[in-house]
Structure 1
Amino acid sequence: MHQSTNREPLLSCNVKSMHGKINGISRRHRFTDCSLWNRYYRYYGRSKIPLGRVKKKRVAKRRKHMFTRISIRKKMGKPIFFTLTHCNKKMNGISNKYNYKANMHKLCFVDARFYNVKYQASIITNCNYRNANIIGVDFFNCNMRGTSFKNTRFKNVVFFNCNLKDVDFTGAKFKNVTFICTNLQKSKNLDVDNSGITILRTYRPILIDESVENKLLAMAQNDSIFNAKVLHVSKNKLNQWTLGLVYERYGVDGITMLSKIIGKKKKWYNMYTVFSYMLLIQHFTAFQPLSHRPRPIDGR
């Protein structure tokens, strides 16, 4: 075979299909010649590898089925779950978003910024969050296996019942970060003695006035409050973990004031995280954190 001195002529041939040829080399020879295949893979990348006719049809059929399913769910008024995997493009962060059953695998969020975002029952595996800014984000019941948070800055973040196996926290910075019912033994390079980290295994019941409890339960009828499931577990049950975090920062008076504030409007926007409710207390009142935990909420 003629050996070209330039890389371009060898790999810039017309590849019509998997049944075609590369510079006169048959399909069978192409797969057995590892060096040629490796050079082709390195030059074109994974996205440019040609597909066979059968695989093209299978991929097209799967894509058509996905769009059909999405259109049906839209017509029925059901939520559309975010799904994106194996994307080589660098992704931007998001703000003021509630993600339920999101499916993200091998995505790149390097240097991205996330603000007031909740991931509920989501899959976030083998993603790269290196040097990202994560502010006011809640990860509830998420599978985050193999994700990298190298040099990531966390602020006012909650991890609740998450799978953190092989999650890398090398060089990460923490401020007001809470791990609730989460196994940290299989995570990598996480300093549990960091002053910015709080680890909770159990919660203690909070004694609040019955009228306050009834006001909070009544807000379950408000979809803008209930849908993100921050204050409520169900229509008839409050989320004691969330109330516990508010209590630790503002005490019983903070919970009482919160019940008064959220009753002032019929529709609230961007109430997706524990952080958003703490900001609400701070903005509507003159409350400051308790003296034994002076941690003001200033996420921006």
Structure 2
Amino acid sequence: MGRGKKRRKVKQKLKRKSGKLVRFCLSNSSKKYSGFSNKFCYQTNIHNLIYKDAIFDNVKFQNSNITECNLKNTKLTGVDFYNSNLKKSKFENAKLKDVIFFNCNLKNTDFKNTKFENVFFISTNFDYCKNLNKEEIIIIKEYPKIDNQSLINAILELSKFTKLYKSNVLHVKKNKINNWNISILYSKYSHDLIRALKALKNRKDKRNFITLYSYKKFIESYLKI
């Protein structure tokens, strides 16, 4: 390993220890990767990588490029793709559960024989992707309104906690909630959502709240659903 590469690795390690996000960039590798879990990937830039048979659990890709990647037979549970480019990537025979595609580029993305369970396509143009069975997905185009002030207040209280705020699942800004995600949660849990979010505020362990799926797991555990 050269000196320059060693220095970069040391800098990345120091950034991770200080809580800063480290961008991952890699392309044209012949190695087969196994996936990962409990990770917030910001501005990840990967191209032509092999994730065949990989497992992803509770992962969020934000403002990322995931192009021409082989995701055949992968299992994705609780994965959020936000403002990301998945052009020409292949999800053939993949199993997607509790996955969100928000404002994504899906041009020539292949969903041949992909199995969907509770998968949302939000503000995403899927006209140019391949083999997508629209009957198996949930499509949201219109911006939802949240008028419940008690709910809004409970969410804004959580923005004080960095571990909950930094992944922007419930919040867009410190003083603005994420209406898209909140509407999904509220339609499922109704007023019990407020009770669960207040319990989350008092919870000591606030790690790994990275995706909408991670919040759903906590809410259902708390409500004993």
State the structure with more CA Rg: 1
Q: Which amino acid aligns with 1:215?
A: A
Gaps of 5+ in 1: 1-59, 288-300
Give the Å deviation of 1:75: 5.2
The aligned counterpart of 1:207 is 147
Between 128-137 and 242-251, report the one with greater CA deviation: 242-251
Number of residue pairs matched?
221
Aligned equivalents of 1:214, 1:108: Cα separation in 2: 44
Pair 222,266 (structure 1): closer, same or farther in 2 beyond 3 Å:
farther
The 5 A counterparts of 1:255-294 are: 255-287=193-225
Q: RMSD over aligned Cα, in angstroms?
A: 1.8
Q: Which amino acid aligns with 2:219?
A: I
The aligned counterpart of 2:129 is 187
Aligned equivalents of 1:163, 1:238: Cα separation in 2: 24
Q: Which amino acid aligns with 1:206?
A: I
Give the Å deviation of 1:261: 1.9
Structure 2 length normalisation: TM-score? Answer: 0.91
Match of 1:88 among 30, 38, 50: 30
Pair 220,70 (structure 1): closer, same or farther in 2 beyond 3 Å:
farther
1:170-201 C-alpha deviation (Å, 9 max, x unpaired): 1101110000000000100111122xx10011
Match of 1:152 among 83, 87, 94: 94
CA contact (8 A) 1:146 1:165 kept: yes
1:198 pairs with 2:138: yes
Aligned equivalents of 1:271, 1:138: Cα separation in 2: 12
Give the Å deviation of 1:107: 0.5
Give the Å deviation of 1:206: 2.3
CA contact (8 A) 2:58 2:213 kept: yes
Match of 2:71 among 129, 144, 149: 129
Give the Å deviation of 1:74: 5.7
1:88-107 C-alpha deviation (Å, 9 max, x unpaired): 01100111111111111111
CA contact (8 A) 1:178 1:200 kept: yes
Aligned equivalents of 2:102, 2:7: Cα separation in 1: 34
Aligned equivalents of 2:21, 2:53: Cα separation in 1: 29
Secondary structure of 1:280's partner?
helix
Give the Å deviation of 1:265: 2.0
Structure 1 length normalisation: TM-score? Answer: 0.69
1:223 pairs with 2:162: yes
Q: Which runs of 4+ in 1 moved over 6 A?
A: none
Q: Percent identity?
A: 38
1:117 pairs with 2:59: yes
1:10-50 C-alpha deviation (Å, 9 max, x unpaired): xxxxxxxxxxxxxxxxxxxxxxxxxxxxxxxxxxxxxxxxx
Aligned equivalents of 1:158, 1:204: Cα separation in 2: 16
Aligned equivalents of 1:67, 1:181: Cα separation in 2: 41
Secondary structure of 1:193's partner?
helix
Q: Which amino acid aligns with 2:73?
A: N
CA contact (8 A) 2:100 2:122 kept: yes
1:252-281 C-alpha deviation (Å, 9 max, x unpaired): x13212321211124411100001111111
Give the Å deviation of 1:213: 1.9
Aligned equivalents of 1:74, 1:153: Cα separation in 2: 33
CA contact (8 A) 2:80 2:101 kept: yes
CA contact (8 A) 1:70 1:80 kept: no
Give the Å deviation of 1:245: 1.0
Aligned equivalents of 1:241, 1:258: Cα separation in 2: 18
Aligned equivalents of 2:68, 2:81: Cα separation in 1: 16
Aligned equivalents of 1:254, 1:67: Cα separation in 2: 50
